[in-house]
Structure 1
């Protein structure tokens, strides 16, 4: 879907989730199933770092799932959400990963002008 939107010139942001578990196929684990949420700030921060730095996460069954993401989401209704956000921000910043609002991020539009160096 991201490629189709970018091909139309739309700005695209692929979202990853620090506070949700993934299935081996890259989908989110249903909230109705055990282990669907990462409520420990350390676990969520580790997953955010894996998404941002390594391009993937370990699924619920520990399968490596490759995911390309541009943004990291923490759901406000997840237990410990404020602590999770702080831990995620600290982990990303500590790893030298720039944390900024999406509005300030470079565009991923298919029709952008290539940069020349």
Structure 2
């Protein structure tokens, strides 16, 4: 039995999704300030490793960083519903670039949509 990670094309597919995602984040006025590093490369690598592990690939993320603790890691940032929407816009572009079959695309999208809304920790201003 293969993993979802293997079924979608492994690291190459995840790398495409994450690369396109960060290309969008790089110029996003809402999301870019949430990344304190001048170079998005380390964030891109962490996200790529996380997604690879989540979908059944190598466990490098946990070996390097421990348990993902996503809510805790994002707590310092004001993640509003509109920020989650922007995040999903860029992730959608990444999934579109990967051109997964519809069933795999839907499974991936369902996970990230739930995750994005789970990360919201701040109401919209005003």
TM, length-normalised to structure 2: 0.28
Higher strand share: 1
When Rg is computed on C-alpha atoms for both structures, the one with the higher figure is 1
